[in-house]
């Protein structure tokens, strides 16, 4: 029964840890499907996290925090769009610039506004998104096997967790069942076809980037207002890049993206769980190695296990009308 | 007099210093097939792009069906019933036929309804015009001819009454082109107006009712097709008399320079593309390989020039074998006097992002003429490039211009100049004039014959039968990977055509 509880705990933290990855991964999916590489997921999450925590603590409302996180993150997405769509700049350079601006400005503004070394004030419980307890969760806790699965894994997460997982079928539906999705996929494959069909390539790509900004904003809010009780500098810690890796791993498909992010989340959860625990045969493994494990496995998975991942064909190439 | 479907009045368009269209006037009658011919860069495509709203004219007026029209985007053109089939298809390769057809013309925000509507509409169009294509097929799995049909369906689905086709047969096999012409005639019978842009005069004569000729951005003439000749049109296109058949004397064939024996080549899927082929090319003769595209000519060329692995057989250059493992050093072959003008100049022959002068020495950049110590001798390279530009009349005459900015014909001249000026003993040329205009074709043919007269061995592969017949001293016909016949240059088109279709072979087998 101990083992069972341990598994439930690891799976529970798998869900919690994969949520920001999943949101960022779906965010990247929108922009890359539309042909815009977005290495700035990391930066947009970071500004989202900062804007969320800062405004939640000032206005004492989690929802205002979430709104500001989305707003600022979308604004950064539009900057990326302005550079790479309107001015046909290099998308990698623009994305990297956004990451740097995000890392620097959050610390600077945090220090200027709150004087806590770049942190935002610790959020009170009503300024954060609390856990939602599903009906009957407490009642069934005692039921063997199914009880803990229901009360720990399914119930008891914040609203943003459910938003993240509902975003998966929603994204799939948008992508493959709506006119917007068809056009977005087309513009990522062959923008000239979209242009000659009489649709604006730029406007379509901007809309895709707005979707990206909304999702990275939610991801940021999750980090600073759910996982943590406030903003800490560089709190995204590379999640934006892992999300990009997951996106490739998932071959730019929403349901695959969910499983890829759950896998990365699971590896992360496992490494935390196994820290300091002696393993059979091997003995005690250094903490650093355990922490590196998800990244090592990322490299191995990406190098060997996914087969050929074909990105959207027009990805990374600014659209210029041919003469 | 039928009412004009389209009138263009005083159209002007410049790109920077280049005046692509000057004072163009054109009237296209409803329900006719109207051809527009001209050399590459004459401004045909620009004019049609203006009509389709892709560019805006600097000045001038467009009237559609007698009404002045303002066409600011493809959307406006579509709304006016104008559809365009582009030279490079505007299709999303990994979408289905249906998805491509509805893209931009979806009837509903949800795809299900749009697709259901398009499916029944497509069935109707297929019945009406004989445009069969599986609506659920993925574009990249369809042959080019069918992809083009999807482009036509796209235009018809949007209610096009006027259909513009830009160089539609450039990518088609002769049989596919014939099928396309049947479709176009049928569309005409249904009252559609068709504008056909091409530089192939034979097509113009075969299918159009009226033909307009463009030269250097101006409209020089419009003729009833029945009242003109290929000769007249060619003359109008280039502004002087053109030799459609280059004069040449008898070949004085010398010793064997290139000997191909029992060559067998398979493609990446393991299908035998070249099957036990043997032939010789002697000094001072041009051997032409005729055949419908895809009968193994490309693979054979690649094997002979050491790029593709051969399964068996041998190729002797001046009596010494060429490495056929696919790992031959092209530099070594060049040193031995084998020059190769590849079929696909964009991917194999040139680096489009390089300047002209860099491409004009590509592959010969180690030659002592172009280097000084460990460095490239830039001045020598540029002087050399200027010489070639003058000698081969490459336009624009600017060796610092990016190669991508030259027209197809001039790019081909860059490659030819590079390979011919190295004075090779054996010259292998794939599709010497693909995508090249009439004036340049004549020039290239003359150069090839001059090479022959200097005693070089020349092997030409072309899908253009006219070209093969006009150039070759001996014609070998390839069909299904085999050489099915050898004929002299006097062989009739019909006779060669039958060989290319594999007819004689089948009769012999029976």
Q: pTM of this prediction?
A: 0.77
- Interface confidence: ipTM more than 0.90: no
pLDDT-derived band at B1 (thresholds 50, 70, 90) equals very low
Collect all residues with Cβ–Cβ distance below 8 Å to A227 and sequence separation of at least 6.
A16, A20
Lowest mean pLDDT across A208-212, B131-135, B197-201, B436-440: B436-440
Q: What is the mean pLDDT of residues B395-418?
A: 87
Query: Could you write out the DSSP letters of every residue in A30-51?
Result: HHHHTT---TTHHHHHHHHHHH
CA B320 from chain centre, in angstroms, equals 35
Residue of A nearest to B50 (CA): A323
For residue B502, what pLDDT is reported? 72
A219-234 core/surface letters (b: 16 or more CB in 10 A; e: else): bbbbbbbbbbbbbbee
Residue B74 touches partner A, C-beta closer than 8 Å: yes
Distance CA A272, CA A263 (A): 14
In chain A, which residue ranges form alpha helices assigned H by DSSP? 2-33, 41-59, 62-81, 91-114, 146-148, 159-177, 179-189, 191-196, 201-222, 239-249, 254-274, 287-304
**Chain B: closest CA distance from residue A322 (Å):** 10
Position B452 scores a pLDDT of: 93
Close Cβ partners of A249 (under 8 Å, ≥ 6 residues apart):
A256, A260, A301, A302, A306, A309
Contact predicate B330/B342, CB 8 Å: no
Burial of B70 per CB tally in 10 Å (0-12, 13-18, 19+): exposed
Find, in chain A, the residue whose alpha carbon is nearest to that of B108: A179
Spatial contact of A225 and A65, defined as CB atoms under 8 Å apart: yes
Q: Residue A115 contacts by C-beta under 8 Å, 6 or more apart in sequence?
A: none
The residues, ordered by sequence, that sit 6+ positions from A280 with a Cβ below 8 Å of its Cβ are: none
What would the DSSP string read from start to end of B112-150? HHHHHHHHHHHHHHHHHHT----TTSBGGGS-HHHHHHH
Q: Say whether residue B15 is in contact with chain A using an 8 A CB cutoff.
A: yes
Give the model's confidence band at B510: pLDDT under 50 very low, under 70 low, under 90 confident, else very high.
very low
pLDDT given at position A62: 94
User: What residues of chain A score a pLDDT lower than 50?
Assistant: 323
Top-confidence residue, B19 or B280: B280
Over residues B96-129, the pLDDT tens digits come to: 999 999 999 998 899 999 999 999 999 999 888 8
Q: What pLDDT shows up at residue A5? A: 85
**Strands B4-15 and B18-29, how do they pair?**
antiparallel
Q: Min CA distance, A240 vs chain B (Å)?
A: 28
- For the domain covering B256-509, report its CATH number: 3.40.50.300
Q: How many CB atoms lie under 10 A from the CB of residue B211?
A: 24
Distance CA B434, CA B416 (A): 13
* Residue B423 scores a pLDDT above 50: yes
Residue B199 has pLDDT above 80, yes or no: no
The residue written with tokens 């482009």 in the block is B151
Q: Is B51 on the interface with A (CB under 8 A)?
A: no
Handedness of CA A37, A39, A41, A43 (dihedral sign): negative
The CATH classification number of B4-238 equals: 3.40.50.300
Q: What is the DSSP string of A156-176?
A: SEEHHHHHHHHHHHHHHHHHH
pLDDT per residue over B261-319, tens digit each? 999 998 776 778 899 999 999 999 999 998 877 788 888 998 998 888 999 999 999 99
Q: Over 50: is that where the pLDDT of B377 sits?
A: yes
B100 chain-A contacts, CB cut-off 8 A: 193
- Give ranges for CATH 3.40.50.300 in chain B: 4-238, 256-509
Mean pLDDT of B324-330: 82
Q: How many residues are there in chain B?
A: 510
Residues of chain B above pLDDT 90, percent: 52
Say yes or no to pLDDT of B46 above 70. yes
Look at residue B506 and tell me whether its pLDDT is greater than 50: no
Q: Do A236 and A69 contact (CB within 8 A), yes or no?
A: no
Provide the 10 A C-beta neighbour count for residue B334: 18
- Decide which of B456 and A279 is more confident: B456
Which of A177, A186, A321 lies at the smallest CB-CB distance from B103? A186
Whether the predicted pLDDT of B241 surpasses 70 = no
Chain B positions in Cβ-Cβ contact with residue A202 (cut-off 8 Å): none
Query: Which of these ranges, B32-46, B244-258, B464-478, has the smallest mean pLDDT?
Result: B244-258
* Domains of chain A, earliest start first: 2-129+143-304 (1.10.3470)
What beta strand segments (E) does B16-85 contain? 18-29, 33-38, 59-64, 67-69, 82-85
Which residues in A have their CB inside 8 Å of a CB on B? 176-183, 185-186, 189-190, 192-199, 313, 321, 323
């Amino acid at each position: 029964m101990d083992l069972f509880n341990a598994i439930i705990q690891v799976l529970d933290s798998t869900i919690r840890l994969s949520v920001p990855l999943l949101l960022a991964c779906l965010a990247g999916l929108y922009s890359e499907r539309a042909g815009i590489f977005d290495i700035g997921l990391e930066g947009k999450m970071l500004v989202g996290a900062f804007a969320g925590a800062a405004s939640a603590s000032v206005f004492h409302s989690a929802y205002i925090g979430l709104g500001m996180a989305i707003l600022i993150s979308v604004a950064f997405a539009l900057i990326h769009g302005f550079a790479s769509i309107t001015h046909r700049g290099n998308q990698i350079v623009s994305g990297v610039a956004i990451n740097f601006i995000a890392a620097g400005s959050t610390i600077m503004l945090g220090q200027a506004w709150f004087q806590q070394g770049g942190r935002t004030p610790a959020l009170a419980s009503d300024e954060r998104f609390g856990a939602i307890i599903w009906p009957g969760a407490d009642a069934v806790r005692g039921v063997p096997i199914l009880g803990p699965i229901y009360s720990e894994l399914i119930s008891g997460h914040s609203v943003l967790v459910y938003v993240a997982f509902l975003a998966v079928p929603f994204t799939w539906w948008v992508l493959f069942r709506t006119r917007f999705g068809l056009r977005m996929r087309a513009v990522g494959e062959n923008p000239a076809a979209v242009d000659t069909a009489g649709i604006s390539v730029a406007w379509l790509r901007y809309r895709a980037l707005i979707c990206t900004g909304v999702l990275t904003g939610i991801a940021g809010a999750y980090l600073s207002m759910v996982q943590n009780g406030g903003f800490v500098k560089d709190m995204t810690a590379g999640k934006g890049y892992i999300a990009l890796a997951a996106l490739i791993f998932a071959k730019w498909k929403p349901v695959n993206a969910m499983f890829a992010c759950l896998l990365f989340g699971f590896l992360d959860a496992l490494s935390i769980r196994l820290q300091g625990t002696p393993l059979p045969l091997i003995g005690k493994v250094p903490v650093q190695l355990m922490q590196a494990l998800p990244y090592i496995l990322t490299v191995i998975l990406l190098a060997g296990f996914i087969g050929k991942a074909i990105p959207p064909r027009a990805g990374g190439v600014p659209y210029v009308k041919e003469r | 007099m039928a009412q004009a479907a389209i009138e263009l009045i005083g159209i002007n368009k410049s790109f920077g210093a280049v005046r692509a269209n000057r004072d163009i006037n054109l009237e296209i009658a409803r329900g006719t097939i109207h051809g527009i011919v001209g050399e590459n860069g004459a401004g045909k495509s620009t004019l049609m792009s203006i009509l389709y709203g892709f560019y805006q004219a600097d000045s001038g007026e467009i009237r559609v069906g007698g009404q002045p029209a303002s066409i600011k985007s493809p959307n406006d053109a579509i709304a006016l019933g104008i559809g365009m089939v582009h030279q490079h298809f505007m299709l999303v390769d990994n979408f289905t036929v249906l998805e491509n057809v509805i893209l931009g013309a979806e009837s509903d925000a949800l795809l299900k309804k749009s697709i259901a509507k398009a499916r029944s509409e497509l069935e109707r169009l297929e019945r009406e015009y004989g445009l069969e294509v599986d609506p659920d097929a993925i574009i990249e799995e369809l042959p080019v001819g069918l992809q083009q049909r999807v482009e036509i369906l796209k235009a018809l689905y949007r209610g096009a009454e006027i259909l513009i086709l830009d160089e539609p047969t450039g990518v088609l096999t002769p049989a596919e082109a014939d099928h396309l012409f049947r479709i176009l005639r049928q569309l005409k019978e249904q009252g559609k107006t068709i504008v056909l842009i091409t530089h192939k005069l034979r097509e113009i004569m075969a299918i159009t009712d009226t033909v307009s000729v463009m030269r250097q951005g101006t409209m020089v003439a419009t003729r009833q097709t029945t009242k003109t000749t290929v000769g007249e049109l060619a003359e109008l296109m280039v502004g002087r008399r053109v030799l459609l058949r280059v004069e040449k004397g008898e070949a004085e064939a010398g010793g064997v320079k290139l000997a191909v024996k029992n060559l067998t080549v398979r493609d990446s899927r393991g299908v035998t593309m070249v099957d036990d082929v043997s032939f010789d090319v002697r000094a001072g003769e041009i051997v032409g390989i005729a055949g419908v595209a895809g009968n193994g000519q490309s693979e054979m060329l690649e094997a002979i020039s050491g790029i593709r692995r051969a399964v068996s057989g041998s190729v002797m250059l001046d009596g010494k074998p060429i490495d056929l493992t696919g790992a031959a050093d092209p530099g070594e072959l060049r040193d031995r006097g084998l020059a190769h003008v590849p079929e696909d100049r964009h991917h194999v022959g040139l680096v489009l992002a390089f300047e002209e002068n860099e491409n004009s020495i590509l592959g010969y950049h180690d030659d002592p003429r172009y280097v000084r110590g460990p460095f490239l001798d830039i001045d020598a390279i540029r002087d050399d490039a200027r010489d070639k530009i003058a000698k081969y009349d490459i336009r624009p005459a600017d060796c610092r211009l990016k190669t991508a900015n030259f027209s197809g014909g001039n790019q081909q001249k860059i490659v030819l100049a590079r390979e011919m000026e190295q004075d090779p003993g054996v010259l292998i040329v794939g599709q010497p004039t693909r995508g090249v205009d009439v004036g340049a074709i004549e020039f290239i043919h003359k150069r090839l014959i001059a090479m022959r007269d200097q005693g070089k061995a020349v092997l030409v592969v072309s899908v253009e039968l006219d070209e093969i017949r006009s150039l070759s001293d001996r014609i070998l016909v390839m069909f299904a990977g085999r050489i099915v016949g050898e004929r002299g240059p006097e062989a009739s088109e019909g006779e060669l055509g039958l060989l290319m279709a594999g007819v004689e072979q089948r009769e012999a087998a029976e």
